[in-house]
Amino acid sequence: MSLTKPKAVRAGATFGVISPASTPKAELVNAGVEALHALGYKTKIFPHALDRGPLYYAGTAKERVADLHAAFADPAVDVVICTRGGWGSAELLPLLGAELIRANAKAFIGYSDQTSLHVWLRNECDLISFQGPMVAADFSKSAGREGAVDEGSWVAALEGVSAWELGAAHGLRVLRAGVAEGELSGGCCSIYTESLGTPYTARARGGVLFLEDIGVKPYQWDRMLVHLRLAGMLEGVVGIVFGDMAQCGNGDEIEASLMHALRDFNGPIGIGLRSGHVASGNITVPFGVRVRLEFEDEARPRMRFVEAAVRG
């Protein structure tokens, strides 16, 4: 079955702002909204996006689902974007309506805890979605700090460039040389891994796997990769790209742990791609499109998106 490509996102598009997980700071949401307006977009903040509680959640699970459903169903909204991650999106999965979302397919943007929603959208709706900058977590910084969002990948992924690529300028380095091509999937590794054993686990499809995280120690990376391997989640995977490890500690130790865990994996391996939990230049990556890893030349690694992620 071919995947559904959402409509291209261009100037004038309206972004529906929601908080499926933890509650954001209102001032950061407001700053992020202003940054989106400066790029020529419109915004609509949904009723519970700034809710505080219960606990650390932005409203109850039913309230957060109501916002997500309303954002997809609203014909005036072109894109659904999250304020932040944190924790809570997995609570929504049993309450989500696949029929509603399939009937109103549009771009969904987020990372971190939103990995749960990316996996669900792929499993239940066959919808391409985007790991990309969030309103409070990233766009809020762009007004005061140039380069908080990688504009090149944002435009290429969301406006529909048919073929584009990422490379050394985006932090990408080669850990194991080789060439591979397949559908891209993945996200925040801890969230991706913790879904195993539930009805909402990512379905093993092979292809190219992208994994990133924050505050994960070398042995924890090793443990998660062993977990994925023993669960059969690396079967058919032809290439792996890891994110920027600057917020995970000792880079040399992490790389050694990764290569130990993947010592029997034969495909190309890259690391350092600045998408997700990064300090600056957050790169937008579409899940569900074909990507080609060209890691023969260590000085010129290329991660090529060979098809557009959007239509029209």
Active site residues: 112, 212, 277
Q: Are 123 and 101 in contact (CB under 8 A)?
A: no
The b-or-e profile of 48-67 (16+ CB within 10 A means b, else e) is bbbbeeeeebbbebebbbbb
Alpha carbon distances (Å) from 73 to 4, 91, 282: 16, 20, 28
Helix (H, G, I), strand (E, B) or coil at 160: coil
Name which of 173, 202, 166 is nearest 185 in CA terms.
Answer: 202
Q: Are 282 and 166 in contact (CB under 8 A)?
A: no
Distance CA 9, CA 128 (A): 13
Q: Are 37 and 43 in contact (CB under 8 A)?
A: yes
Q: Are 183 and 208 in contact (CB under 8 A)?
A: yes
